[in-house]
Amino acid sequence: MNRALPPPRNLLRTAVIIVAALVLLWLSTVITLALVARERAPMGFPWWTGTDARVAAASSVALDPRSRDFARARRLAIAALNREPVNVGAARSLALVEDRMGHAARAARLFRYAESLSRRDLLTQLWLIETNVRRNDIPETLRHYDRAMRTSATGIAQLTPILVAAAADPAIRRDLVPLVARRPPWWTPFMIALISDSQSGDALYDLVRSVRLDMRDGVERAMMASALQRLVDLRSYDRAQALYRAARGTSANGALLRDGGFEQDSLLPPFDWAYTDQDGLAATRRTNDRADGNALYLLASAGRTGVAARQLVLLPPGRYRLAGRAGDVPSGDVRPPKIAVRCLGDLRPALIELAMTPGAATRFGGTFAVPAGGCPAQMLEIRPPSSLDENVESWVDSIALARIGS
């Protein structure tokens, strides 16, 4: 059963006002040009000052909420339409006037006629959108959203925020998902706005998954990474994990920690590794004879400290063991590299924090518990060694997480 559409209805009025203001600006320019031409050529106007001037004058009355001179506007619109029956602006202007006069049936017929002349007229599409919103006809509403956004850059700019907000409604989303899945011309700006502004984890998950982003394409991969981060920010962790696994396919093998050996490219943080690359603080993958293939090298300039690498993990409550290898760990006054697991967004001490033993190649390990409440997601963080006096570098490898009990 269809439901009311309060998000599109309320936000649409704002969009209509904005678009109408732009149209009125254009209309005022046309009318001014027509008056100037009239003074300079009193025996006759150029071709565009006849029908178009009448259309402009009629539309300005219909779009201005303070206007009341409907009879004159109607005469102008009818004259324009009689002179040029296929002029979509004339048909739309007459429809707007009839609508303002309360002649709903006439206005509907004229708007349908205007759309039959051209689907590119934004005001016609906006009127049809609002009419179908009032009727609670979701499929028809979305059909006109699609037409308005396919044919008008202004339509994309004005209607995208409305559609993003409306997508939170499951009844709307049911019809919106297959529409977006076909990748209409406006899908990219819509998806960017959705990822940036949506407050609904369900809407974000359903719509991002529907377009089947290609992980071989750098732009679409970045879009997926942004969507994952947005879902995490919304605390929709299960949705984020499901979207990540769908995107990564068989490489997302369900391990508690991904790529603990640093052998793969990090495509989709925060579920894949996120590496810091700043002046004086960085983490880079390099081959290492004492490691199994690659190792992660941790570099900090004198006086610098911070997190060099991080990965989001979703550990259910229980007991776990964290282990790995480290190398080139300096001794003396240098602070050793550390690895920690913290509850995401929690200011309490880390669930575990291990300082690595000085030496050319050593092992580290320890156990910790994830509490039953208040810690649905965790961040594993790796910090480089740090010194006040010198640049320092160490490496880590073969990091593993394993559950050891409930």
Q: What is the CATH number of the domain that holds 356?
A: 2.60.120.260
Same-domain pairing of 149 and 9: yes
Residue-number span of the structural domain to which 363 is assigned: 274-405
Q: Is the pLDDT of residue 42 over 70?
A: no
Q: Of all residues in the chain, what percent carry a pLDDT higher than 70?
A: 83
pLDDT for the residue numbered 380: 98
Q: Is the pLDDT of residue 72 over 90?
A: no
CA distances from 196 to 51, 120, 164, 177, 225 (A): 44, 28, 10, 18, 12
The 3-state DSSP class for residue 269 equals coil
Give 331-347 pLDDT, tens digit per residue. 888 999 999 999 998 88
Same-domain pairing of 206 and 283: no
Q: Is the pLDDT of residue 357 over 90?
A: yes
Within a domain: 153: yes
Within a domain: 260: no
Q: Is the pLDDT of residue 38 over 80?
A: no
Q: Which long-range contacts (CB under 8 A, 24 or more apart) does 361-365 make?
A: 361/290, 361/325, 361/326, 361/327, 362/325, 362/326, 362/327, 362/329, 363/323, 363/324, 363/325, 363/326, 364/323, 364/324, 364/325, 364/326, 364/339, 365/321, 365/322, 365/323, 365/324
pLDDT for the residue numbered 56: 66
Same-domain pairing of 126 and 7: yes
pLDDT band of residue 60 (cuts 50, 70, 90) is: low
pLDDT for the residue numbered 96: 85
pLDDT for the residue numbered 50: 47
Q: What is the CATH number of the domain that holds 88?
A: 1.25.40.10
Within a domain: 265: no
Distance CA 344, CA 37 (A): 68
Higher pLDDT, 17 or 292: 292
Which of 254, 289, 311 lies at the terminal end of a domain, its last residue? Answer: 254
pLDDT band of residue 35 (cuts 50, 70, 90) is: very low
Distance CA 271, CA 229 (A): 9
Q: Is the pLDDT of residue 324 over 50?
A: yes
Q: Is the pLDDT of residue 200 over 70?
A: yes
Q: If you average pLDDT over residues 289-312, what whole number do you get?
A: 91
Q: If you average pLDDT over residues 301-307, what whole number do you get?
A: 92
Give 75-122 pLDDT, tens digit per residue. 877 887 888 888 888 888 888 888 888 898 998 999 899 899 888 888
How many angstroms from the chain centroid is the CA of residue 300?
A: 34
pLDDT band of residue 311 (cuts 50, 70, 90) is: very high
Claim: this prediction has a pTM higher than 0.75: yes
pLDDT band of residue 291 (cuts 50, 70, 90) is: low
Same-domain pairing of 9 and 139: yes
Which region among 33-37, 59-63, 300-304, 390-394 has the lowest average model confidence (pLDDT)?
Answer: 33-37
In the Cβ-directed half-sphere of 313, how many Cα atoms lie within 13 Å?
28
Q: Is the pLDDT of residue 390 over 60?
A: yes
Which of 124, 150, 166 lies at the terminal end of a domain, its last residue? Answer: 166
Same-domain pairing of 180 and 108: no
Largest Cα–Cα separation, the chain = 98
Same-domain pairing of 103 and 242: no
Same-domain pairing of 247 and 283: no
pLDDT for the residue numbered 27: 44
pLDDT for the residue numbered 25: 45
pLDDT for the residue numbered 62: 64
Q: If you average pLDDT over residues 367-371, what whole number do you get?
A: 97
The 3-state DSSP class for residue 217 equals coil
